[in-house]
């Protein structure tokens, strides 16, 4: 495994939810509010710097391509790009996973593709949340058919307890339990991406 030892953190992430995470409690919680901060902006910035330095060491003398997974990983991908002391490139992909409510069926479909060729390039997939592993496994298989020089995975948040498919994660920001968080690009129903910290989305307090 590349990179440094992954610190254990409390938290998780997602949007409406976005496809990288399906909270086990999201189906029963309709009204939510932003609650306590789990990972502060300073902690995020420090960890992104560490990840960038680790990637810089592992890919010294090369120019990796960061492939961000839309939309949740946009902020993380941009910050990570600036933290890597190499002439790295950046592009994006988007996928959809279908199922009932907020639970994924595991059927994944590519909805937005790369704008550049990765043949012969060192590619690092950048994901916001890695949970069941199904979506990221699909992306790895898809990108592998394009003959990159190498293919690695960097996740901001890793929900190991939700894993259904074995996934080798090369770089991890924070290992988290099955919580539901927003901020730093992660949303709920299209909201809260702009928050600088990662915070728990909690049930709304009745009026």
> 89-98 and 171-175: which strand pairing?
unpaired
Cα(142)–Cα(190) distance, rounded to whole angstroms?
Answer: 27
Q: Where are the beta strands (DSSP E) in 84-180?
A: 89-98, 107-112, 122-130, 150-158, 171-175
Nearest to 10 by CA among 138, 177, 170, 150: 177
Does residue 131 have an active-site annotation?
yes
Q: What is the DSSP letter of 55?
A: H
Can you give the length of the chain in residues? 207
Answer for the pair 22, 103: CB distance below 8 angstroms, yes or no: yes
Q: What is the DSSP letter of 60?
A: T
Catalytic residue among 131, 158, 170, 197: 131
Burial class of 106 by CB neighbour count within 10 A (0 to 12, 13 to 18, 19+)? middle
Which residues have a catalytic role annotated? 131
């Amino acid at each position: 495994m590349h990179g440094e030892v992954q610190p254990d953190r409390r938290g998780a992430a997602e949007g409406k939810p976005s496809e990288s995470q399906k909270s086990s409690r999201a189906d029963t919680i309709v009204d939510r509010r932003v609650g306590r901060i789990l990972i502060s902006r300073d902690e995020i910035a420090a960890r992104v710097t560490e990840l960038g330095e680790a990637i810089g060491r592992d890919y010294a003398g090369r120019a990796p391509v960061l492939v961000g997974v839309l939309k949740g990983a946009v902020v993380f991908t941009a910050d990570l790009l600036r933290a890597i002391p190499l002439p790295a490139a950046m592009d994006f992909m988007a996928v959809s996973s279908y199922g009932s409510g907020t639970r994924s069926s595991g059927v994944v479909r590519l909805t937005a593709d790369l704008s550049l060729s990765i043949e012969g390039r060192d590619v690092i997939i950048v994901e916001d949340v890695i949970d069941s592993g199904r979506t990221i496994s699909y992306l790895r298989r898809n990108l592998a058919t394009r003959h990159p020089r190498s293919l690695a995975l960097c996740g901001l948040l890793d929900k190991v307890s939700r894993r259904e498919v074995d996934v080798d994660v090369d770089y991890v920001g924070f290992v988290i339990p099955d919580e539901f968080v927003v901020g730093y690009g992660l949303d709920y129903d299209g909201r809260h991406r702009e928050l600088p910290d990662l915070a728990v989305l909690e049930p709304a307090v009745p009026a």
